[in-house]
Amino acid sequence: MATAPQHLPMPEPVLRPMREDDVPAVVQAERDSYAFPWSEPVFRDCLRVGYLCRVLEIDHRFAGYGILSTGAGEAHILNVCVRPEHRCRGLGRRLVVGLFDLARAAGAEDLFLEVRPSNTTAIRLYQSLGLSQVGLRRGYYQAANGREDAIVMRLRLVP
């Protein structure tokens, strides 16, 4: 009698600081994921100005990234991406929760982010993590047919 294939557990994801030599992989993931990607100089500027830039790795292989700015008791998730081949495995959740932890460690009391209304998968993830809509930025994102609004979401990080 044949036995079913054994599924090995996924290696533990690691969130580590982004380095200059990560930027090409970050830019490629951005291009593979978004119709209007950030440019390489934008990512290099994020590192240069001291944003909290993180890379998510699985078994020492690049799987995604996140960028967080902090200041004045607030944190702002500027960009989050999981490579297409690593999606639907809980890695986006792990990445975002890791950014929450960084924000708390930096003394932020509130965390904000913008998300496209068309990105329902991300919206559901953010809502499941306790974020709620607090505003709308009209025409915030570039889109194929002009501009797309941004939903502004907030998470209170302290009780």
Q: Supply the residues annotated as catalytic.
A: 114, 126
Reported in sequence order, the residue ranges of 72-105 that DSSP labels E, i.e. its strands, are 74-82
Residue 139 burial (C-beta neighbours within 10 Å; 0-12, 13-18, 19+): exposed
User: Residue 36 to residues 32, 58, 67, 142, 147: CA-CA distances in angstroms?
Assistant: 10, 26, 17, 7, 11
The single residue listed with the structure tokens 């990607």 is 37
- Strands in 110-115's sheet, in edge-to-edge order, are 14-17, 52-58, 61-71, 74-82, 110-115, 146-156, 132-143
Q: Which structure tokens are listed for 127?
A: 């809502």
